[in-house]
Structure 1
Amino acid sequence: MNRIILLLITLIVISCSAQKKLQKSYVGQPVSVMEKEFGKAKTIFEKSEGQEYIFEKVEFLKSTEISQHKITLDPMITPKVKKITHYATLVRDGIIVEINVDEEYER
């Protein structure tokens, strides 16, 4: 039971590490730093806490063969996908305060 709980905690920490890394890299920096990396924001919303900039990064992932080590004559191939990553950035007075990441995949 303790091992299961430890495993769950480890998975949660690992899954949140990419967002924490982004938080450390950009929080406290001006918006221009993020614009240099990701280009112009796709949309900008006015909120009571500040402005929310939505940056978007698009990657095309190739199809690849998955080896199941069962029958060598029947390979399993993953489809090509388009990975879209949205970075929702909360900005106050030109300084980044918070970043949230959302990823989606399209076939």
Structure 2
Amino acid sequence: MKLALRIYQRALANQSGARYERFCQDIPTVYIENKKRYGAPKTREAFMKKYPKLSVKRVQRYMKFLGIQSIVYKKYRPHKSEAVYELGENLLNRDFTATKPMKNG
């Protein structure tokens, strides 16, 4: 049976859409399983066995379509709130006593 090229291409495009329809349903499960921390690259890695030809951009599109965004936590940087510093020696023998307010001596 002969088909016009455009009709054939359209049929192929519809098949690829159906292939990733299941993927679109699987995204929220992976997203929730990983405490909403996975973005597009890690979500893609989770699906590599099931969908080997899946690109990051396709995952980004589907995540945007579904309204899914990864939650980004800032890294905790520990610090001491009351640091005590030792005063260094006065090697230059400078005079730091004030003779008048706001004036050094």
Higher-strand-fraction structure? 1
Q: Which of the five TM-score ranges fits, normalised by the shorter chain? A: 0.3 to 0.5
What TM-score do you get using the length of structure 2 for normalisation?
0.33
Largest Rg, 1 or 2:
2
Higher-helix-fraction structure? 2
What TM-score do you get using the length of structure 1 for normalisation?
0.32
